[in-house]
């Protein structure tokens, strides 16, 4: 399968798209068509392990990769997850389920893709005949950075550098990154927000001068953000797997529709659900949940994307985003794959901070998605009330999705269609906020909060987070947003 740019001036194979990360014209790579999964193929996937299901879905897009190699890589990646199941589905009540995506090495959903991406990237280089070392640049709002660092640490022929907003991640997320092990990793805190981090990294990727200088130093640039199709593709698999688990457990009949509620920031996670729907998975409504930075809710309700608004730092920091990069891929589909229209809108967003879609695109958007947002008070109330009723603790991001899912069910009176809420992080990644929601206690120390959360909920803390207390802090660099390329060059020059 070939991949094309959303802005019309680049094509690549699957391997090339993964290695390069972003198209040369600044657009995002998308598949030239959506491969279909038939009802017969779904039935064949029912008895498969999660790793087998993931390899099956991936191979639909990445035909040049050997299937047995993909399967072995998936098995190796997902063997790292606690509990023996990479994406368990937990039944809450008769029509409500939690898709738990936080059992990986860094306790967030990014692990489902970033434990696998090192294989996809290295194998992609081999397939594409690329012998250069790879320099990966990552902008993170909290979870991607740690998951990418952990996935690529000490990987041969790869260096990885992560940028995060200095005051825009949780204490636990910052500690996870600052203590990262590995001889090929670097972490830089940025005196700004995530959008500026992401824009700076994109500017490096689209600068011929930057790419040429780094190429002369022996490096090919790539990305581990969800702008890279290699990050997006593995996420499609867990929507299929959740559906198959519902069928195999007798909760639904094959062919019945299922709704998914997804906490949304950069739009990659919920876009993967949309891709699954386009591949033939019986998906009903996609509930797009935002936090107080409710730019996506406003966009889906009005058809106007306007980032000229106040930016809020919230207790769900991975969603503190005003430029949702993966929305470009969805707009490409809604516009009947019109690259001229996409480029005009992305240019307008960059220059004016706003663009508007056509009425027919807005109508298609409303048919596919229900959008809602959850403020800070509602996040606290949702965590508290849900635990009171079900004894199930959730993190702040998942709470936004649960709030939106409940509002959707109440508004539509649709209590029969199963609702799967995508739980994107362990509550232990945000222990102080979760403890505040459950008890009203404001605990300053993250590790004390972990202890109290364990006593309050009886939920077992992840081993990887408990170990952080004793790990030395390795990275202390703080940089201005316009000095990030200098940090990249310094890192590239290190031996």
What's the mean per-residue pLDDT of the chain?
Answer: 96
Residues 44-89 have pLDDT tens digits of 999 999 999 999 999 999 999 999 999 999 999 999 999 889 999 9
pLDDT, one tens digit per residue, over 231-264 is 999 999 999 999 999 999 999 999 999 999 999 9
The bridge status of strand 369-373 relative to strand 283-290 is parallel
Asked whether residue 126 carries a pLDDT value surpassing 80, the answer given is yes
At residue 84, the pLDDT reads 86
- Cα–Cα distance measured from residue 415 to residue 447, given in angstroms and rounded to the nearest whole number: 39
pLDDT of amino acid 466: 85
User: What would the mean pLDDT of 150-163 be, rounded to a whole number?
Assistant: 95
pLDDT at 252: 98
The rounded percent of the chain whose pLDDT value lies above 90 is 97
pLDDT band, residue 142 (cuts 50/70/90): confident
Asked whether the predicted pLDDT for residue 406 surpasses 80, the reply is yes
How far is the C-alpha of 75 from the C-alpha of 83, rounded, in Å? 14
Q: Give the pairing of strands 219-223 and 304-306.
A: unpaired
Q: Where are the domains of the chain?
A: 85-108+230-460
Handedness of CA 176, 191, 213, 28 (dihedral sign): positive
165-190: pLDDT as tens digits: 999 999 999 999 999 999 999 999 99
pLDDT band at 495 (very low <50, low <70, confident <90, very high): confident
Order of strands, sheet of 185-190, starting from the edge strand that comes earlier in the sequence: 219-223, 133-139, 158-165, 185-190, 478-479
What is the third-level CATH fold of 85-108+230-460?
Answer: Rossmann fold (3.40.50)
Q: What integer pLDDT is reported at residue 250 of this predicted model?
A: 97
Tell me which of 68-72, 222-226, 430-434 is least confident.
222-226
Q: What is the pLDDT of residue 14?
A: 97
Q: What is the structure's pLDDT at 69?
A: 98
Q: Residues 338-358: pLDDT tens digits?
A: 999 999 999 999 999 999 999
Q: What is the pLDDT of residues 186-202, one digit of tens each?
A: 999 999 999 999 999 99
Q: Which pair of structure tokens corresponds to residue 286?
A: 């996609």
| 389-398 residue pLDDT tens | 999 999 999 9
β-partners of residue 91 are 97
pLDDT of residue 326: 97
Enzyme catalytic residues: 110
CA dist 387 and 381 (Å) reads: 10
> What is the C-alpha separation between 204 and 287, in angstroms, rounded?
34
What does the H/E/C string look like for the chain? CEEEECCCCCEEEHHHHHHHCCCCCCCCEEECCCCCCCHHHHHHHCCCCHHHHHHHHHHHHCCCCCHHHHHHHHHHHHCCCHHHCCCCEEEEECCEEEEECCCCCCCECCHHHHCCHHHHHHHHHHHHCCCCEEEEEEECCCHHHHHHHHHHCCCCCEEEEEEEECCCCCHHHHHHHHCCCCCCEEEEEECCCHHHHHHHHHHHHCCHHHHHHHHHCCEEEEECCCCCHHHHHHHHHHHHHHHHHHHHCCCCCCCCCEEEEEECCCCHHHHHHHHHHHCCCCEEEEEEEECCCCHHHHHHHHCEEECCCCCCCCCCHHHCCCCCCCHHHHHHHHCCCCHHHHHHHHHHHHHHCEEECCHHHHHHHHHHEEEEECCHHHHHHHHHHHHHHHCCCCCHHHHHHHHHHHHHHHHHCCCCCCEEEEECECHHHCHHHHHHHHHCCCCCCHHHHHHHHHHHHCCCCCHHHHHHHHCCCCCCCEECHHHHHHHHHHHHHCC
Q: How long a stretch of residues is the chain?
A: 495
Q: Which of 213, 212, 39, 205 is nearest to 138 (CA)?
A: 205
Percent of the chain with pLDDT over 70: 100
Residue 95 scores a pLDDT above 80: yes
Q: Given a cut of 90, is residue 161 above it in pLDDT?
A: yes
């Amino acid at each position: 399968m070939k991949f094309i740019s959303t802005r019309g001036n680049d094509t690549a194979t699957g391997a090339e798209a993964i290695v390069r990360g972003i198209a040369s014209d600044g657009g995002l790579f998308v598949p030239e068509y959506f491969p279909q999964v038939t009802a017969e193929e779904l039935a064949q996937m029912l008895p498969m392990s999660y790793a087998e299901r993931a390899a099956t879905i991936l191979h639909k897009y990445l035909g040049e990769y050997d299937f047995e190699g993909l399967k072995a890589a998936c098995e190796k990646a997902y063997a790292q997850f606690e509990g023996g199941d990479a994406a368990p589905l937990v039944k809450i009540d008769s029509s409500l389920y939690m898709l738990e995506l936080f059992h990986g090495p860094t306790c967030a959903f990014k692990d489902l893709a970033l434990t696998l991406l090192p294989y996809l990237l290295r194998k992609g280089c081999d397939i594409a005949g690329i012998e250069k070392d790879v320099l990966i640049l990552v902008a993170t709002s909290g979870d991607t950075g740690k998951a990418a660092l952990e996935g690529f640490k000490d990987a041969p022929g790869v260096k990885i550098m992560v940028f995060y907003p200095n005051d825009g991640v949780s204490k636990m997320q910052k500690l996870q990154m600052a203590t990262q092990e590995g001889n090929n990793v670097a972490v830089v805190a940025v005196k700004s927000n995530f959008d500026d981090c992401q824009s700076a990294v994109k500017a490096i990727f689209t600068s011929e001068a930057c790419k040429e200088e780094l190429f002369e130093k022996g490096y090919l640039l790539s990305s581990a953000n969800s702008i890279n199709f290699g990050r997006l593709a593995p996420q499609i698999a867990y929507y299929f797997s959740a559906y198959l688990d519902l069928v195999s457990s007798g909760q639904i009949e094959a062919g019945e529709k299922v709704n998914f509620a997804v906490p949304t920031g950069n739009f990659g996670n919920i876009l993967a659900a949309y891709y699954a729907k386009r591949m033939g998975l019986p998906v009903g409504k996609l509930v797009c949940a935002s936090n107080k930075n409710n730019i996506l809710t406003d966009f889906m309700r009005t058809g106007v994307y306007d980032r000229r608004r106040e930016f809020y730092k919230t207790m769900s920091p991975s969603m503190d985003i005003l430029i949702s990069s993966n929305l470009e891929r969805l707009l490409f589909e809604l516009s009947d794959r019109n690259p001229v229209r996409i480029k005009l809108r992305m240019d307008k967003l960059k220059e004016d901070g706003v663009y508007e879609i056509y009425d027919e695109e807005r109508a298609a958007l409303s048919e596919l998605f229900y959008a809602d947002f959850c403020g800070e008070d509602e996040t606290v109330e949702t965590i508290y009330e849900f635990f009171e009723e079900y004894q199930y603790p959730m993190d702040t991001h998942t709470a936004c999705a649960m709030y939106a899912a409940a509002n959707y069910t109440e508004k539509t009176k649709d209590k029969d269609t199963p609702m799967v809420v995508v739980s994107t992080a362990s509550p232990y990644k945000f222990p102080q906020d979760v403890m505040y929601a459950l008890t009203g206690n404001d605990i300053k120390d993250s590790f004390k909060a972990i202890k109290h959360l364990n006593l309050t909920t009886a939920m077992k803390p992840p081993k990887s987070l408990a170990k952080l207390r004793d790990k030395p802090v390795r990275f202390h660099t703080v940089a201005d947003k316009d000095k990030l390329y200098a940090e990249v060059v310094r890192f590239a020059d290190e031996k």
